[in-house]
Amino acid sequence: MAHMTAWRAWSGGLGDAVLDPGMPVGPSMTLNQDGSVTEGGGANPASGVTILQAASMEDALELAKPCPHLSAGGTIEVAEALDMEM
In eight-state DSSP terms, residue 73 is T
- Asked if residue 46 has pLDDT above 90, the reply is no
- Burial string for 14-30 (b: 16+ CB within 10 Å, else e) reads beebbeeeeeeeeeeee
Q: What is the pLDDT of residues 4-39, one digit of tens each?
A: 899 999 999 999 999 999 888 888 888 889 999 988
Q: Residue 5 and residue 11: Cα distance in Å, rounded? A: 10
- The whole-chain average pLDDT of the chain stands at 89
- Asked if residue 40 has pLDDT above 80, the reply is no
Cβ–Cβ under 8 Å, residues 47 and 23: no
